A = this chain, B = another copy of it.
Amino acid sequence: MPQTLAIIGGSGPEGRGLALRFAMAGYPIVIGSRDAARAAEAAMGLLDLNAGLPITGAANTDAASLADWTLLSVPYEALGATTQALAPVLAGKLVTSVVAPLAFEGGIAKAVVVSQGSAAELVASLLPDSRVTSAFQNLSARDLLKPEMELDGDVLVCGNDKDARAQTIELAASIKSLRGVDAGDLSNSRYVEDLTALLLNVNKRYKAHSTIKLIGL
């Protein structure tokens, strides 16, 4: 029986895209939002795309309480406060940060410097009793939301707990044609998160939705 996943910030494009793909892979999904009605609306929208999927919605705390495993997909500005508020219900559980800390200046994406090193390390600093991994930052939300589209590419997975990293690699590989790559300790998450800024800037220039693949593994 696959674990139930909560996706906090799951009413945003990246969160909805991941919810759709993981549900297609058979994981029961609870979309979390600050507003329970908005979470339910996002769940309904995904069921319109692909009826019969195991997707529901709830307020953030309820979603995280219901789930075995929580993915954080909120804007970076909200990450600290959201994580702190959920710390009690996330204790003892697996938590995956999907967040890339970005700012935009004149249409150009810039990686924001995080004093803890990365968004994922910020999460880990606030959740000492959870196992924290980092993944999925570099996938195009628009492509995730096209259920029939195959997503060639690699998901770079970081985390300090080897078993948590292995589970996250398996979750990545549950999306058809994607490969999970073991990118080591959470201290490597900065490079993966920052890469999102580069991909967005390249995408703008090429009018594309690119992602990355490691050649030669």
Chain A interface residues toward B at CB < 8 A: 108, 110-111, 140, 143, 152-153, 156, 181-185, 187-188, 190-192, 194-195, 197-199, 201-202, 205-206, 208-217
- Determine if A194 and B190 form an interchain contact, defined as CB atoms under 8 angstroms apart: yes
Q: Name A's interface SS.
A: mixed
Closest residue of chain B to A189 (Cβ to Cβ) is B198
Shortest CB distance A70–B (Å) = 25
**Are B108 and A216 closer than 8 Å at their CB atoms?**
no
| Choice from B156, B185, B205 contacting A184 with Cβ under 8 Å | B205
Contact: A184 with B211, CB < 8 Å? Answer: no
In the complex, what's the smallest C-beta–C-beta distance from A196 to chain B, in angstroms?
9
Q: Which residue of B lies closest to A191 (CB)?
A: B198
Q: 4 nearest interchain CB pairs?
A: A191-B198, A210-B216, A210-B214, A153-B215
Taking a contact as CB atoms under 8 Å apart, the answer to whether B205 and A215 are in contact is no
- With most chain B CB atoms within 10 A of its CB, the pick from A110, A156, A190, A201 is A201
User: Are A202 and B187 in touch, CB under 8 angstroms?
Assistant: no
16 A–B contacts from the bound complex (CB under 8 Å): A108-B184, A108-B185, A156-B198, A156-B202, A183-B198, A184-B202, A188-B198, A188-B201, A191-B194, A195-B195, A202-B214, A208-B216, A210-B214, A211-B214, A212-B214, A213-B215
